[in-house]
């Protein structure tokens, strides 16, 4: 078995029901947007940026912390993240009354740092993401805190599977799902749930040209590590695929495509101009793929995309748009 069962997904959905938000699904059928989309396609977007803590990560983080035993909760948790996962862990820890330590790069948007601290997390700042991960490893080894990995873990895949099952229940006619990929936690869960409920559906992953660890891993047949990351999408900048999420993605993802930074910028502008949404690059990646490399292939299809989260200040958004 590769991924959670339907029974586990339903149980997790019940656990999350009173804590997380059933995020809305919006049809992108307006006359203003239609010229930018594949010809004849019926497109919906699931607005995960309205989830607790501002992203889809909240479900997995909540499940992971709720599953800890009393002694593990007393020890607290630690995470390394540049954004959405940091906020999700901070929120989930606060909800459970658990101490959270978050290691973040100094360069991240101050809005994210302040958000974590506002929810009671202790934040340490480091030179870059590898240094933040090293601090997480140190805290686990020396202080005994539980590690909350940003995408590798049964709870993260399970939380994303709840999102996928929820999306299909809200838009049951979809035949194609276009999902942004960082480390692979989101697409592994969504792909697993959708393939269980609708095996004929197509699952397409989207990665930045400069951060395509899952694309390379699927091509190689095993998790691969990137030597260099170069993208504005910091939430999609995982340096490596990991065994658990990779195995689920390998079993259920049909195709991967790349998007450029400029394509994500254009999609960010579309969200702002037509929906008045301040979308970070990762949030815009699915729309960027739909308007770019998938424009011809998905003509006439019933497509679901994911606005995965948006924890970005207006100042940072403007600096990225240029």
Residue 135 lies in a domain: yes
Query: What is the extent of the structural domain holding 197?
Result: 6-55+153-321
Question: Band of the pLDDT at 46, cuts 50, 70, 90?
Answer: very high
Burial class (CB in 10 A: 0-12, 13-18, 19+), 165: buried
CA distance 132 to 70: 27
Domain's final residue, options 91, 112, 147: 147
Look at residue 1 and tell me whether its pLDDT is greater than 70. Answer: no
Q: Is residue 192 located within the same domain as residue 71?
A: no
Domain's final residue, options 113, 147, 181: 147
Q: Is residue 51 located within the same domain as residue 74?
A: no
Counting residues of the chain whose pLDDT is more than 70, the rounded percentage is: 100
Q: Is residue 33 located within the same domain as residue 127?
A: no
Query: Around Cβ 225, how many Cβ atoms within 10 Å?
Result: 11
Structural domain count of the chain = 2
Residue 99 lies in a domain: yes
Q: Is residue 135 located within the same domain as residue 231?
A: no
CA distance 51 to 24: 9
Residue 61 lies in a domain: yes
Q: Is residue 210 located within the same domain as residue 267?
A: yes
Q: Is residue 183 located within the same domain as residue 133?
A: no
Question: Band of the pLDDT at 57, cuts 50, 70, 90?
Answer: very high
Q: Is the pTM of this model over 0.75?
A: yes
Residue 1 lies in a domain: no
For 194-241, the pLDDT digits (tens) are 999 999 999 999 999 999 999 999 999 999 998 888 999 988 888 889
Query: What are the angstrom distances between the C-alpha of 230 and each of 98, 208, 210, 279?
Result: 35, 9, 5, 19
Phi first, then psi: give them for residue 224, nearest 5 degrees. Answer: -120, 150
Q: Tell me the CATH number at 212.
A: 3.40.50.1100
Query: Around Cβ 293, how many Cβ atoms within 10 Å?
Result: 17
Residue 96 lies in a domain: yes
Q: Is residue 143 located within the same domain as residue 160?
A: no
For 258-305, the pLDDT digits (tens) are 999 999 999 999 999 999 999 999 999 999 999 999 999 999 999 999
Domain's final residue, options 147, 173, 188: 147
Q: Is residue 283 located within the same domain as residue 177?
A: yes
Q: Is residue 237 located within the same domain as residue 184?
A: yes
Residue 49 lies in a domain: yes
Q: Is residue 163 located within the same domain as residue 31?
A: yes
Look at residue 120 and tell me whether its pLDDT is greater than 80. Answer: yes
Q: Is residue 240 located within the same domain as residue 119?
A: no
Residue 307 lies in a domain: yes
Q: Per-residue pLDDT averaged across 174-185, rounded? A: 96
Average pLDDT of the chain, as a whole number: 95
Q: Is residue 68 located within the same domain as residue 173?
A: no
């Amino acid at each position: 078995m590769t991924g959670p069962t339907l029974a586990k997904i339903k149980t997790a959905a019940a656990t999350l029901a009173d804590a997380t938000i059933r995020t809305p699904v919006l049809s992108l059928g307006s006359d203003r947007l239609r010229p930018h989309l594949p010809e004849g396609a019926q497109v919906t977007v699931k607005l995960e940026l309205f989830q607790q803590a501002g992203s889809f990560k909240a479900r997995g983080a909540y499940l992971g912390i709720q599953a800890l035993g009393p002694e593990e909760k007393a020890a607290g948790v630690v995470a390394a993240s540049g954004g959405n996962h940091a906020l999700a862990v901070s929120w989930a820890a606060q909800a459970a009354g658990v101490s959270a330590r978050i290691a973040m790069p100094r360069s991240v948007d101050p809005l994210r740092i302040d958000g974590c601290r506002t929810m009671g997390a202790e934040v340490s700042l480091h030179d870059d993401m590898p240094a933040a991960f090293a601090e997480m490893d140190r805290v686990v080894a020396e202080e005994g805190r539980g590690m909350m990995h940003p995408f590798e873990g049964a709870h993260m895949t399970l939380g994303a599977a709840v999102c996928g099952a929820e999306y299909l229940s809200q838009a049951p006619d979809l035949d194609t799902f276009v999902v942004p990929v960082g480390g692979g936690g989101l697409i592994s869960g969504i792909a697993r749930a959708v393939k269980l409920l609708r095996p004929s559906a197509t699952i397409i992953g989207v990665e930045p040209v400069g951060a395509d660890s899952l694309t390379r891993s699927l091509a190689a047949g095993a998790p691969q590590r990137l030597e260099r990351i170069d993208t504005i999408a910091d939430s999609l900048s995982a340096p490596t695929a990991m065994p658990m999420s990779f195995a689920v993605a390998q079993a259920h993802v049909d195709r991967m495509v790349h998007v450029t930074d400029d394509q994500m910028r254009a999609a960010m502008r579309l969200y702002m101009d037509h929906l008045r949404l301040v979308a970070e690059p990762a949030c815009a990646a699915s729309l960027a793929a739909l308007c770019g490399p998938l424009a011809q292939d998905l003509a006439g299809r019933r497509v679901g995309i994911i606005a995965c989260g948006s924890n970005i200040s207006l100042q940072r958004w403007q600096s990225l748009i240029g």
